[in-house]
Structure formats: structure tokens, C-alpha cells
Amino acid sequence: MGERKKLELISSVEIMNMPMKKQGFIVAGMIYPGIHILSGDPKIGKSWMMLDMCLAVAKGEDFFGRKIEQGQVVYMALEDTFVSLQSRMYELTDEPSENLFFTLLANSIGSGLEEDLRECKKMFPDLKMVVIDTLQKIRNNIDTKYGADYQELSILKSIADQLGIAIILVHHNRKARDSNPNNLISGTNGIAGCADGLLVFTPNGENAMLHISGRGAPSLELNLKRKNAKWILLDNVPESEPDIFSFTIHDFMLEKNSMSGNASEICSMLKEKFQLQEFNCNWLYRDFLQHDDEIRSLGIDYGKTKSNGTRKIFISYAVDRDSSGGKILFTENVVPAAPESSSNADDNLIEVDGAEFPREENAVPAVPVKQMQGDALIAMAAGMM
């Protein structure tokens, strides 16, 4: 038996007051850090699609019309040769990328693959994605039971979570047909049950359908057509909304210096200023926590209190800690408001790490984490204009 793991518990209060980075996508709406299974019929073109996706991530180009988080990629082409990879590359692109790396050999799960993946992250600090083609080539266990499938993939999921990368395992569909695409994945339900995301590739007449589902994204069905070496999306791509929460809070607080109110009151004021933006009062404090690093780098501090059954959020702004230099970051659909002088700031405040907060016994300031550099935020804001 292995060494007993120490049980670590965390309270719901800590969970709901802990800054956590919002889940990001590597391929918008499709691929995010974690374990993904790409399953399809033999010779349907899974490897072509994966190589095309790897090139898109390495170059920072859209994939199926969806935005990409550019970074380094490792493709473990365990059923290929360098000759076949060279041929595919020339059919897909005339511009290779220094962010894309290949290997034809890898250790199996439990026999060195975990160390291989950690070594990849050390060699490539900006590693976003590892494709393992195919899953069967790295399996050690010949047991066909649910527990064996789940246990093997759990090892890879743990590595993906630790390294903050997506690991995509190319796999095969079973021969039987089923109305639920996820039931087509070869093996037991332990494979689908452990994976964060599932991409099931099925024929659709002369074309194909990619069924996408998972824990971190809404379900999608993409209609695809093969055009020479590439798979082409036949559907219209919905326009993605930029995440401008940090910019709206920053620009809102430029006029106020400090304030407090319940979530509904603050949302109402935000909606009045940014009329075409959506703000959900039930999720407002969660949005603060999930944008913590950006917000704090813009000179914003925040926390919450509960008194006599009433919850309040308090926010303060300090221009001397604003990495944007006090610039307005989001100008679209803004209703101008007269700036408030600092003399209007709430007098009933305490100071916590240089920021002022309400003088209440149970005031809970969120714990700050790392800060994003101002130049990066300004560039991000400029790109949304």
C-alpha cells in the first residue's frame, strides 16, 4: 500500500473569500487546462486535426474561428515517423513555428511519462498543450475494468492540473453506434468519467461532426468538412465577448476613491455607467475574486462585511498603485459621471495593507495574490477598443 495522504480540509468561508484565477481557454470554448479525449473512427482524420490545432496554438492563430492563447506545444506522435510528420506539415502550412515540438517516443503511464511531462514544462515554460497520439501507446494496464481506466487517466489529470496545461489524448471510437456520442469512446466509462473534456469525432455523410462536452465549457456540436489536408468549420462562429470586468471596475472607481454597498446596489451603479454590459449581483464578489490580480494591479482593493444580516462589498482605489497611471481603460458605452472629490470618501474606514476598509468587526478583505503588469493590462484594454 502507498503512503497515507494527509487529509486537508478547507472551510466554505475560505473558499468563498479566496482569490482564484478564472479558468482560461487555450482554444476558446473547446480546450482548457486539464485532460481531454479526442476520440474518432480509425483514419477519419484525428491526427490531421490535432496537428492543425497544435500549429494554431503555437502561432497564435484562430482555430475553427475561435481565439487561441498562444504558447508552446508538444506533440507526441507515437504512431508516426518524421517523414510522415514532415509531409503533413507541408500540407498544412508553409510557415513552421518555433513553439511546436515533436517526439516519436514516450514512456508509459507509471513508467516515466509523468517525469517526461514535467521535463517538458521545465524545458518550455510557456507550455500550453501536450498532444499524445495515441492513448493506447502510453497505457501500461491491460485490465479492461472501469477502475483501471479511471486510475490511469487520474495520474495524467493530476499532472495536467499541477502544470496548468491541457493534455489531449487521441483515442478510438468503438464500432457500435449510440445516440450518445460519449458512449462511442472505446473502453469503459472510466475514461470519459475522469476526463475534463471530451471531443468525439463522428462521420456525418460526406462530412463529420465534432461533439464537444466537459466540465469547463458548454456542450458544442461543430459541423466540419475536409478540404484537402484541413478540416473546415461549416458553422457560423458566435462572436465572443471580451472579459472587461477589471476595466469597468477600474474606470468606475476612478470617480469614487472608496465606496461600499450591497451587490445589488453596486450592480445597479455599474449598469447605469456601462449600459450594454452585463453584471450579475449574485456573482459580483466571485468576479472580484476571479480577477484579483488584474484588479489589484490597477490600484483596487476590496472586501466584504456582514452586519445584522446585511452583506456589503467595500471597494477602494489608490491612484499611486494604479499600473495604468489612472487612464480610462474602457470607453465603449460609458455614461459620463461627474467625478467625486476625495472629501466624499467614507470616513468610517480602516487601513489594511495600505488600503482603507469599513470599520466593522467582521470586515473580510480578500487576500491579494500576484499582480499583472500595467503595460500588459493597457495593451489588453487597447485591443478591446
pLDDT one-digit tens code per residue, 147-174: 889 999 999 999 999 999 999 999 999 9
112 and 17 belong to one structural domain? yes
21 and 101 belong to one structural domain? yes
Q: Give strand pairing partners of 358.
A: 349
| Residue 200 located in a structural domain | yes
107 and 175 belong to one structural domain? yes
Q: What is the mean pLDDT of residues 285-297?
A: 94
Query: Which of 27-31, 139-143, 240-244, 345-349 has the least mean pLDDT?
Result: 345-349
333 vs 265 pLDDT, higher one: 265
343 and 212 belong to one structural domain? no
Query: Which of 102-111, 168-177, 224-233, 370-379 has the least mean pLDDT?
Result: 370-379
| Residue 271 located in a structural domain | yes
35 and 90 belong to one structural domain? yes
118 and 64 belong to one structural domain? yes
Give residue 339's domain range: 245-384
Taking CA 366 as the corner, what is the angle to CA 360 and CA 371, rounded to the nearest 5 degrees? 140
148 and 287 belong to one structural domain? no
The per-residue pLDDT for 158 is 96
| Residue 337 located in a structural domain | yes
pTM over 0.85: no
**Whether residue 350 has pLDDT greater than 80:** no
- Write out the E strands in the chain: 34-40, 72-77, 100-103, 127-133, 166-172, 197-204, 207-214, 220-227, 230-233, 258-261, 298-307, 310-322, 349-352, 355-358, 364-365
The per-residue pLDDT for 221 is 95
CB 72 within 8 A of CB 126: yes
d(Cα 329, Cα 246) in Å, to the nearest integer? 9
Which of 201, 233, 265 is the endpoint of a domain? 233
Indicate the number of domains in the chain: 2
Which of 233, 255, 281 is the endpoint of a domain? 233
**Whether residue 194 has pLDDT greater than 90:** yes
The per-residue pLDDT for 23 is 83
| Residue 6 located in a structural domain | no
Q: Which residue, 314, 355, 45, 362, is CA-closest to 199? A: 45
| Residue 85 located in a structural domain | yes
147 and 252 belong to one structural domain? no
Which of 209, 233, 257 is the endpoint of a domain? 233
114 and 167 belong to one structural domain? yes
Angle between helices 245-253 and 263-273 (to 10 degrees): 90
The per-residue pLDDT for 346 is 43
| Residue 292 located in a structural domain | yes
223 and 357 belong to one structural domain? no
* 344 — pLDDT class (breaks 50, 70, 90): very low
| Residue 240 located in a structural domain | no
Q: What are the pLDDT digits (tens) for 36-62?
A: 999 999 889 999 999 999 999 999 999
- Residue 75: other Cβ atoms inside 10 A: 25
Q: Return the C-alpha cell found at 321.
A: 498603485
370 vs 305 pLDDT, higher one: 305
The per-residue pLDDT for 39 is 97
CATH number at residue 64: 3.40.50.300
| Residue 90 located in a structural domain | yes
Query: Which segments of 130-283 does DSSP mark as H helices, in order?
Result: 146-163, 189-194, 245-253, 263-273
182 and 51 belong to one structural domain? yes
d(Cα 319, Cα 298) in Å, to the nearest integer? 8
**Whether residue 175 has pLDDT greater than 50:** yes
170 and 223 belong to one structural domain? yes
